[in-house]
Amino acid sequence: MIFILLLLLFLTCCVSGTFVVNVTQTSYQAEENQNITLEWTFSSRRETSLRSISTICQLFTESRPYVLFNLYEGIELPKSQDPQFSGRVQWDKDFLTEGRLTLHVSRLRTSDSGFYVCDILVIPDGTNSRRCWLNVTAAAEPTPLTQTVKTHQKIQGITVLYIGLGISAVALLALFVSLSYLS
């Protein structure tokens, strides 16, 4: 009986100390050239310092994985970032010590579609990861500028035509009235 109580006490301590990582959304939809914020939350103690946190965030596509963000003991390692994401990924340092990892990805491309996985390690709490899906669709074709200019010119031409016809009608009416007075 004592063995069972000790085992139960030990397992309760282990389960309550489990390190958990979650995503705020499991799936995202965006359009090419838009910006998006991906967010992971994790359980941590209040006194977590930035130096106790390490994380690597990757995009997994059909072709290969890409590193978006790498932080080792609170220090960002930009050289490990894939060139495809250079200058397009930002993170919030203040939120990280509060148990939130937010990655802002700008100028999305259709090739950014795939599973985003962040492995988070907090010493001494533990390590875990979660993934989310991002689908980036092609941007709608904007109206070509030349067509917009041609439409504007066409409207201008019609306006000039109507003004010209109006002036001609007034001139003819004036001529008719003046001829009527002369006769």
Q: For the segment 9-24, what is each residue's pLDDT rounded down to a tens digit?
A: 333 334 445 899 999 9
Q: For the segment 81-128, what is each residue's pLDDT rounded down to a tens digit?
A: 999 999 999 999 889 988 999 999 999 999 999 999 999 999 999 999
Report the predicted TM-score, pTM, of the whole model to 2 decimal places: 0.67
Listed in order, strand segments (DSSP E) in 24-125 are: 27-31, 36-42, 53-60, 65-72, 75-76, 89-91, 100-105, 114-122
Identity of the amino acid at 92: D
Closest CA to 58 of 33, 81, 36, 25: 81
Rounded Cα distance between 22 and 183, Å, is: 97
Rounded Cα distance between 25 and 133, Å, is: 9
Domain edges within the chain: 20-137, 143-178
Which class is 20-137 in CATH? mainly beta
Rounded Cα distance between 140 and 150, Å, is: 21
